[in-house]
Structure 1
Amino acid sequence: MSIQQLRRSAVRPVERAAYRVGAVLFASGLVHLVVLVASGTSWEGPLSYRKAMTFGLSFGLTLATLAWATSFLRINEKTRTALLGAFTVVSVVEVALVTMQVWRGVPSHFNFETPFDSFVSMTLALGGAVIIVTVLGFTIAALRSTSGLSPSMLLALRFGLVTLIAALAVGAVMIADGVSLSRGGHLELAYTTAGALKPVHFVAMHAILVIPALAWLLRFTTWTERKRTRVIAATAALYAVVIAGTWLVFS
C-alpha cells in the first residue's frame, strides 16, 4: 500500500472527534437507562428519563455511523470537516438541551411556558434544521460521486443517506405539527401526534448503518461485485418496504 493510500485510509481528525463525541453521547444514553430503571419512574411521557436515554443513544449511534459511512466519500476535505463538524456540534447541543430539560422536570419540545423554555424548544428546532442541511450536503456528494467506490457501496451509501433525509423530514413534520398544536393550546395532542411518527422515524434513521455495513461485509465474500450490488439493491428494497409498513401500521 502506498503512502497516499495509507493517508486516505487513516481516520481524519474530524472523524476521530465525531467518534469520541458519539461514544460520550451513547454513554449518556446508557447512564439514563440505568437511572430510568433504578428510579422506577414511567417510561412514557415528555418528562421521562427515557427521552434523555433515547436522544443519547440515537444521536451517539447516528453521529458515529455518519462519520464512518461518509468517510468512504471523496469530497473536498474542508467541506467534509464543515459538514461533519456541524453535525457533531448540533448533536451535542440537542442531547444536552433535552437532558437538561428532563432533569429540570419540564418538557424539552413544544414547551413555551417561559421565555427560557421557549428558547430551548426553538433551539432544538433550529438544530434539526442544521442536521437536515448537513445530511443533505453529504447526500448530494454521494449522488454526484461516480468514482472511487464499488457500485455496491455507492448504492448502499446513496440509499442510506436518502433514507436518512426522509427520516429527518418525518422529524421536521413531527416538530412542525407539535409546535402548531402546542401554540394552539393542545399540548397533550402535540405529544400524541408527534409520538405516532416515532416508529417510522426510528426505522428510517438507521438505514445509513444497516445498508452500508452490509456492503462493507460483502467485500469479504467471494461474490462478484455484480452479485454484491444485486444483494444491496434487494436489501434496500426490502428495507423500504419495512419503512412503508411501519408507516402504515403506526401512523
Structure 2
Amino acid sequence: MGLLALVSVGGLLFDDRVLVGAPIWAKPFKFSVSFVAYGLTLAWMLSLLPTARARRVGWWAGTVLTLASLTEMVLITTQVVRGKQSHFNSATPFDAALFQAMGVTVVVLWLAALVIAVLLLRARILDRATAWAVRLSSFVALAGAAIGFVMVRPTPEQLAQEEPATLGAHSVGVPDGGPGMPLTGWSTTGGDLRIAHFFGMHALQLIPLLLLALSALAPRFARLADHRIRLRLGLVASTAYTAVFALVTWQALRGQPLLSPDGPTLAVAGAIVALALAGTALALRTSPSTSPQELAA
C-alpha cells in the first residue's frame, strides 16, 4: 500500500485526467494511505492477543484481510488505468463484474475484521484502559466500514432507469461528483456517506492514540497515573466518538452537507459536547479509595 501511495502521487502529478469531479488517481492514493494506517493498527492490536490459539486465529484473519485489501486495490487501480469509475459502475458487463468482485472482497475484509474484533473482545489484556480502547475502537471501525454497504443501494433516480450506468452512490440528495470540500472532496451541496465511513473506520487509530497520549502524560499529571481514571476517560471518549459517528451518519442520510448543519444537527452536536465535558469532569474525580500518596506515586 505504501508503494501504491507513491505510484498514486506520481499519477496525481503527471496524469491530468478527472473522473466524477476529482483527479483520477485521488481514490487509489486515499485508499492506499488509509489501508497503511489500518494495517499497522491491526498488526499492533493482534500483538496484544495473549494466547497462542488467539494469535493463530488472528494470524489467519489478518492474512485474509490483507489479501482482500490487496485484491480491492488491484481492482480499483485497474479501473483507474482504464479511465473508468470503479465504484458503482455498471456501464458494461465487465465494469459490473469488477464492481461485484469489489463487493465480495469488502465483505470478506469486513468478516475478517469482525473475527479480529471478537478476539480482542475476549482477550485478557493487562491494561484495562488500553483493552477497552482497542475493543471499542474495533467495533466502531466495523460500523464505519458497514456504511459502505449502505452506499451500494440504488438511488430512486437509478431505479427509475431501465439500464442505469451506475448503481449506488456516496452522495445523498445530489449526484456524485458535484462541488466538494478541498482535499477530501466531500459534498458541499448534499449529504455524503463517505464522511461517516471515514470517521468510523479511523476510530481504530484515534481512540487508542488518545489512551497512549494519556499514558504518556501520566508521569507529569498524577491523576492520570490512576489506571481507573484513564479507563473512565477512555470510555467517555469512546462514547462521544460513537455519538459523533452516529450524528454524521444521520446528517448525511438526510442529504445535509457537513458544513451546513441545521437546527436539529446543531442541537444534537451541542448535547454531545455537553455530555462529553460532564463525563470528562466526572471521570477525573479522584476515587474515594485513592489516597493522595497513591496518586503521587
* Fold agreement, TM-score > 0.5: yes
Structure 1 segment 21-60 matched on structure 2, within 5 A: 25-42=1-18, 44-45=20-21, 48-60=24-36
Shift of 1:43: 7.0
- Cα distance between partner residues in 1 of 2:210 and 2:171: 34
Which contiguous aligned blocks of 4+ residues in structure 1 show a shift greater than 6 angstroms? none
| 184 and 160 in structure 1: CA distance in 2 versus 1, 3 angstrom threshold | farther
Letter of the aligned partner of 1:215 in structure 2?
L
**What is the match of residue 18 of structure 1?**
none
Which position in structure 1 is the counterpart of 2:89?
Answer: 111
> Counterpart of 1:5?
none
Distance 1:166 1:153, change over 3 A: same
Q: How many equivalent residue pairs?
A: 225
Q: Structure 1 residues 70, 176: CA separation in 2 closer, same or farther (over 3 Å shift)?
A: farther
Distance in 1 (alpha carbons) for counterparts of 2:100 and 2:167: 19
Q: How does 1:218-237 map to 2 (within 5 A)?
A: 218-220=214-216, 221-222=218-219, 223-237=225-239
Structure 1 or 2: larger helix share?
1
Output the TM-score relative to the length of structure 1.
Answer: 0.78
Q: Does 1:161 align with 2:135?
A: no
Structure whose alpha-carbon radius of gyration is higher:
2
Please give the root-mean-square deviation of Cα atoms over the aligned residues, in Å: 2.7
- Aligned pair 1:122/2:100, yes or no? yes
Provide structure 1 residue ranges, at least 5 long, that are not aligned to the other structure. Answer: 1-24
Segments of 5+ residues of structure 2 without an aligned counterpart are: 177-191, 220-224, 254-297
Give the equivalent residue in structure 2 for 1:141. 119
Contact 1:111 1:117 in 2 (8 A): yes
Alpha carbons of structure 1 residues 217 and 192: separation in structure 2 relative to 1, 3 Å:
closer
Q: Secondary structure at the match of 2:86?
A: coil
In structure 2, what is the Cα distance between the partners aligned to 1:187 and 1:152? 49
Q: Which moved more, 1:48-57 or 1:130-139?
A: 48-57
Q: Distance in 2 between matches of 1:54 and 1:191?
A: 18
* 1:118–1:42 distance in 2 versus 1, CA, 3 Å: closer
Superposed counterparts of 1:1-251, under 5 Å = 25-42=1-18, 44-45=20-21, 48-75=24-51, 76=53, 77-145=55-123, 147-177=124-154, 181=158, 185-187=163-165, 190-191=168-169, 193=171, 196-220=192-216, 221-222=218-219, 223-251=225-253
Amino acid at match of 2:129: S
For residues 160-213 of structure 1, give each alpha carbon's deviation from its aligned partner in whole angstroms, at most 9, with x where no partner exists. 1110110121112213447x9489634457335476211100000100111112
Q: Structure 2 length as normaliser, TM-score?
A: 0.67
Per-residue Cα deviation, 1:63-95 (whole angstroms, up to 9, x for no partner): 222111232123523211110000111111111
Q: Percent identity among equivalent residues?
A: 27
